[in-house]
Amino acid sequence: MNDAPARGRETATVTRFSQTARLWAFILLAALAPAGLSAAPFAAYVMDARTGQPIYKQNADTKLHPASLTKMMTLYMAFTAIERGQVRLDSRFPISSNAAAEPPSKLGLRAGQSIELRYLIRAAAIKSANDAATAIGEGLAGSEPAFAQQMTAMARALGMRNTQFRNANGLTQDGHYSTAHDMTILGRRLFYDFPQYYNLFSRREADAGIAKVSSTNKRFLDNYPGADGIKTGYTRAAGFNLTASAQRGRKRLVATVFGGTSTAQRNQVMAQLLDAGFSRVPSRAREVRPEPPQLLAQKVVRRAKVEPTPAATQPKTLVLAASEPPTRAQRASTAAVASAANPRDPLADAVRQAQAAPLSASALRLTSSARPSLRPAARGGAVEQAIASAVETIAPAAQSASLAAPVLAASSRPLPAPRSRAGQASTASVAQAGTDSADAIAAAVAEANTGSLSLLASPAPKPRSDTVILAAMGEGDISNPEALEIVSRPGGSGRNWGVSLGLYRSQVEANKLLLRTALQDGTVLGGAQRHVADTKRGFEANFVNLTRADAQLACERLQARAQTCTVTGP
């Protein structure tokens, strides 16, 4: 009987100990659970997007894991390459095994396939696909490490001083970090530098080529009025991150949150930060757009290292061997060299050679002596031979296929016109002696050698006949000429007509209509003049300086295009 109370007391003691152990375990788990959820440090930054000035910041420059906010820079690099013409939206990027093996979130790309850049951009921006982001980096730079270096260089150019990238998707890696301040700068840059692509961040879903993707930021876009982007991010080391942009009236804010404990908690904190920011910034502010990024090109100078050789360092004495002086070659004649290089007329070359040759004493005496007279036995034959050779020389050139050749061959050659009295005297003496007299020819030649350049005198040519010979291929056209047809233009064909296109509120609107119509109907209205008449009812658009036919044709064409048109006459 005494054992029963003892057993009861032992049972009660064990029960109380068990309950105490359970309570402490629950307290310990409750204490550890918040610590595990808030392992990532919290950071926030709010900026007025119009001016770039900060509104709120907390741990803004603390280097933290950016997670998928990294894809904002990946997309910025892709947009930059498109604008520079390096790639196009329809450029196909090959998928490597490295990109296909990236962990979720992913699009489901397979190694070896190729896909257009536009689909990779949509998957990375909307679904936050890691494989798509890696494929973009490898396609633009050749490898992901090379692309990460380019991303870091671009971050420095944009003013992101505390950011360093190691990959294109944002998965946790040593040396891969950023700050809330830097990511806010990047979000503002996406809005101002690439407004043509910025609407991509507000899409709820999109076609990514191989599948349709939904936005990871859909909850915040749907729940916060005025929100239009930008990017979410999550890893266990980074927590729940978000860079958002929203607009209310003329106000626009960009903010970043690092280290959220959940998607709902992160979105709630972001909404509170934006609400407080909108209440603090003025409605009107001078917009200060960011300057274009200043990319610094690194200049690499490579110096060749060459070890000095003994032959180059030890001086040597150079001795020149004595040699006989070269013999002078006979100088060739300048005229001969020129003639060999550039063939010329043989007669001109002979004259130049004669001028260049030295004159001997006998040659000088011959030049100053009188010309010897011809021998009596050779006078007549020499003249006839000279005339025959001249005829043979001229005959081939004078041959012609024309019908006037026999007439020209039978006519006598006219003598040159007189130039001086001395020439007239010599000509007269030659004419008196006759053509058969060799003494007269010799005297004329001797007079020419004395330095007189006068031409021989000749009698005036006979007056030219006024008779006109008409030739025809056949019997000729002897019919009477056709009567002229007189065409009269109607009285209404003058350029006193015009076209009125109606009344308009402003002169600018009327001028635009006239210019657009003239470009469309240039064939008809090419010679017309545009005129805007200022009337009490409005500005009338007119085409003037047209004929009646052109005005009617132009009006018919305009009425066919449902354009009001009226023909105006003189």
Q: With pLDDT > 70 as the criterion, what percentage of the chain qualifies? A: 58
Structure confidence at residue 33 (pLDDT): 40
Is 495-568 in CATH node 3.30.70.1070?
A: yes
Helix, strand, coil % over all residues of the chain, rounded to 5: 45, 15, 40
Structure confidence at residue 180 (pLDDT): 97
Residue 549 clears pLDDT 70, i.e. is over it:
yes
Distances (CA, A) of 419 to 58, 427, 441, 463: 114, 11, 19, 21
Average pLDDT on 108-125 reads 96
Catalytic annotation on 128? Answer: yes
Catalytic annotation on 458? Answer: no
Gap between the Cα atoms of 37 and 214, Å rounded:
26
Structure confidence at residue 366 (pLDDT): 47
User: Considering 71, 106, 127, 251, which one is annotated as catalytic?
Assistant: 71
Structure confidence at residue 531 (pLDDT): 87
Using one digit for the tens of pLDDT, what is the confidence trace for 163-184? Answer: 999 999 999 999 999 999 999 9
Gap between the Cα atoms of 123 and 78, Å rounded:
13
CA angle 353, 356, 361 (to 5 degrees): 110
Q: 45 with 56: CB under 8 angstroms?
A: yes
Residue 512 clears pLDDT 90, i.e. is over it:
no
Q: 131 with 107: CB under 8 angstroms?
A: yes
Structure confidence at residue 534 (pLDDT): 87
Determine the 3-state secondary structure of 238 from DSSP: coil
Task: Identify the band that residue 338 occupies on the pLDDT scale cut at 50, 70 and 90.
Answer: very low
Please state the φ and ψ torsions of residue 213, each to the nearest 5 degrees: -120, 150
43-280 is classed in which CATH architecture? 3-Layer(aba) Sandwich (3.40)
Mean pLDDT of all residues belonging to the chain: 75
Task: Identify the band that residue 335 occupies on the pLDDT scale cut at 50, 70 and 90.
Answer: very low
Q: With pLDDT > 90 as the criterion, what percentage of the chain qualifies? A: 44
Using one digit for the tens of pLDDT, what is the confidence trace for 129-139? Answer: 999 999 999 99
Domain map (residue ranges) of the chain:
43-280, 495-568
Token pair, residue 281, equals 């910034």
In sign, the C-alpha dihedral spanning 87, 92, 98, 104 is positive
Average pLDDT on 330-347 reads 50
Q: Which of 338-347, 494-503, 504-513 has the lowest mean pLDDT?
A: 338-347
Q: 66 with 177: CB under 8 angstroms?
A: yes
Structure confidence at residue 384 (pLDDT): 58
Task: Identify the band that residue 37 occupies on the pLDDT scale cut at 50, 70 and 90.
Answer: very low
- Please enumerate, as own/partner, the contacts of 357-360 that have beta carbons within 8 Å and a separation of 24 or more: none
Determine the 3-state secondary structure of 135 from DSSP: helix
Using one digit for the tens of pLDDT, what is the confidence trace for 221-247? Answer: 999 999 999 999 999 999 999 999 999
Residue 517 clears pLDDT 80, i.e. is over it:
yes
Residue 125 clears pLDDT 70, i.e. is over it:
yes
Structure confidence at residue 439 (pLDDT): 55
User: Considering 96, 106, 127, 128, which one is annotated as catalytic?
Assistant: 128
Q: Pick the residue with more confidence: 443 or 451?
A: 443
Using one digit for the tens of pLDDT, what is the confidence trace for 251-279? Answer: 999 999 999 999 999 999 999 999 999 99
In sign, the C-alpha dihedral spanning 258, 260, 263, 268 is negative
Angle between helices 70-83 and 144-158 (to 10 degrees): 90
Query: How many Cβ atoms sit within 10 Å of the Cβ of residue 359?
Result: 11
Average pLDDT on 34-57 reads 82
Q: Which of 114-128, 416-430, 527-541 has the lowest mean pLDDT?
A: 416-430
Average pLDDT on 11-36 reads 44
Q: Which residues contact 523 (CB under 8 A, 6 or more apart)?
A: none
Residue 201 clears pLDDT 60, i.e. is over it:
yes
Q: Which of 312-321, 470-479, 527-536 has the lowest mean pLDDT?
A: 470-479
Catalytic annotation on 71? Answer: yes
Q: How many residues does the chain have?
A: 570
Residue 482 clears pLDDT 60, i.e. is over it:
no
Helices (runs of H) and strands (runs of E) counted in the chain: 21, 13
User: Considering 68, 178, 426, 454, which one is annotated as catalytic?
Assistant: 68
Average pLDDT on 195-215 reads 94
